């Protein structure tokens, strides 16, 4: 039955065109934003997951900054410890030389004094951003190393603690005496102990530096993996979106034509009254 009051064909064509326009708008938004899921209304579950992951990425960025700061702090202390070890070896040479006869004890003592002063200077200078792991302030370095989220969503922080080595107290070189052969010979045991202390301290700092560097590399990989995962969840497939856009544009043109044809149908009824 044909009617001039109700045009069912036009209503169907209009609904189809509206649906096409909605899909076309969504596709255009995907292309302009680069995201398949840009808001909670697109897919609330996936959007929520992606936002939690983005929050974790931001947290890991702060962790990465903390690790970089810690790595630099330990690196400065380690450089100082290694240099002090070299200076102690030089002092040992002077001590051993002083055990011989017919040597200039005054010059050897002057050299030892200068080297000792240099050790003290390096200990004081081995600080980064106010943190010194070689002096006697007794402050260990705590480095934020990770943020861990459990299955229930609870987030906890993990830390790496780098113990100070306190060369100020443990390397008291006042027991080194090269004023004569007897005192120099007695000082050999003392300088050996100091060298071992410095070596142990440098080794401890080196182990901590390696751990921090490894953790920093791991955190970097975790952030890359999480960013890739977020992209897989919410990013638009641009090739697919491009193909869908062209298809929808064609459908839109056909929908407009179909609506135009449906709107002309009531006019054909006039021919029945001619």
In a domain, 47, yes or no: no
In a domain, 44, yes or no: no
The token pair at 21 is 């326009």
Report the run of H or E that residue 127 belongs to, with start and end: strand 127-128
Per-residue model confidence (pLDDT) at position 121:
96
Q: Are residues 11 and 115 in the same domain?
A: no
Q: Are residues 15 and 104 in the same domain?
A: no
Residue 153 backbone zone (phi > 0: left; psi -120 to 50: alpha; other: beta): left
Domain that holds residue 80: 52-234
Q: Are residues 115 and 23 in the same domain?
A: no
Q: Are residues 146 and 266 in the same domain?
A: no
In a domain, 129, yes or no: yes
Per-residue model confidence (pLDDT) at position 271:
76
Q: Are residues 107 and 229 in the same domain?
A: yes
Q: Which long-range contacts (CB under 8 A, 24 or more apart) does 242-250 make?
A: 242/31, 244/23, 244/27, 245/24, 245/27, 245/28, 245/31, 248/20, 248/23, 248/24, 248/27, 249/24
Q: Are residues 263 and 177 in the same domain?
A: no
Q: Are residues 99 and 168 in the same domain?
A: yes
Q: What is the pLDDT along the chain (274 residues), one digit of tens a residue?
A: 667 777 888 899 999 999 999 999 988 988 988 888 988 888 899 999 999 999 999 999 999 999 999 999 999 999 999 999 999 999 999 999 999 888 999 999 999 999 999 999 999 999 999 999 999 887 999 999 999 988 888 999 999 999 999 999 999 999 999 999 999 999 999 999 999 999 999 999 999 999 999 999 999 999 999 999 999 999 998 999 999 999 999 999 999 998 888 888 777 777 777 6
Residue 252: phi and psi, rounded to 5, are: -65, -45
In a domain, 42, yes or no: no
Per-residue model confidence (pLDDT) at position 54:
93
Q: Are residues 228 and 243 in the same domain?
A: no
Q: What is the DSSP string of 171-240?
A: T-GGG---SSHHHHHHHHHHHHHHHHHHHHHHHHHHHHHHHHHHHHHHHHHHHHHHHHHHHHHHB--HHH
Q: Are residues 135 and 205 in the same domain?
A: yes
Per-residue model confidence (pLDDT) at position 153:
84
Of 170, 76, 177, which Cα lies nearest the Cα of 125? 76
Q: Are residues 160 and 216 in the same domain?
A: yes
Per-residue model confidence (pLDDT) at position 119:
96
Per-residue model confidence (pLDDT) at position 138:
76
**Count of the separate structural domains present in the chain:** 2
Q: Are 35 and 236 in contact (CB under 8 A)?
A: yes
């Amino acid at each position: 039955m044909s009617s001039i009051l109700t045009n069912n064909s036009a209503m169907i064509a209009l609904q189809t065109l509206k649906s096409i326009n909605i899909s076309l708008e969504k596709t255009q938004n995907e292309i302009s934003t680069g995201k398949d899921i840009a808001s909670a209304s697109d897919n609330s579950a996936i959007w929520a997951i992606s936002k939690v992951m983005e929050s974790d990425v931001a947290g890991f960025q702060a962790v990465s900054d903390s690790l970089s700061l810690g790595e630099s702090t330990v690196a400065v202390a380690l450089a100082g410890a290694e240099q002090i070890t070299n200076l102690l070896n030089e002092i040992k040479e002077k001590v051993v030389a002083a055990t011989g006869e017919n040597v200039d004890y005054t010059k050897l003592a002057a050299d030892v004094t200068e080297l000792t002063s240099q050790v003290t200077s390096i200990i004081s200078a081995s600080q980064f951003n106010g943190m010194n792991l070689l002096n006697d302030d007794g402050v260990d370095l705590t480095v934020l190393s990770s943020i861990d989220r459990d299955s229930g969503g609870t987030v906890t922080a993990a830390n790496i603690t780098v113990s100070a080595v306190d060369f100020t107290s443990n390397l008291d070189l006042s027991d080194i005496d090269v004023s004569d052969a007897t005192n120099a010979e007695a000082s050999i045991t003392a300088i050996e102990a100091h060298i071992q202390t410095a070596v142990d301290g440098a080794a401890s700092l080196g182990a901590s530096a390696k751990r921090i560097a490894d953790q920093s590399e791991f955190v970097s990989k975790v952030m890359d993996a999480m960013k890739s995962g977020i992209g897989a969840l919410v990013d638009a497939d641009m090739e697919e979106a491009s193909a869908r856009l062209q298809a929808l544009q064609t459908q839109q043109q056909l929908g407009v034509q179909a609506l135009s044809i449906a709107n002309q149908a009531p006019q054909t009824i006039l021919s029945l009254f001619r």
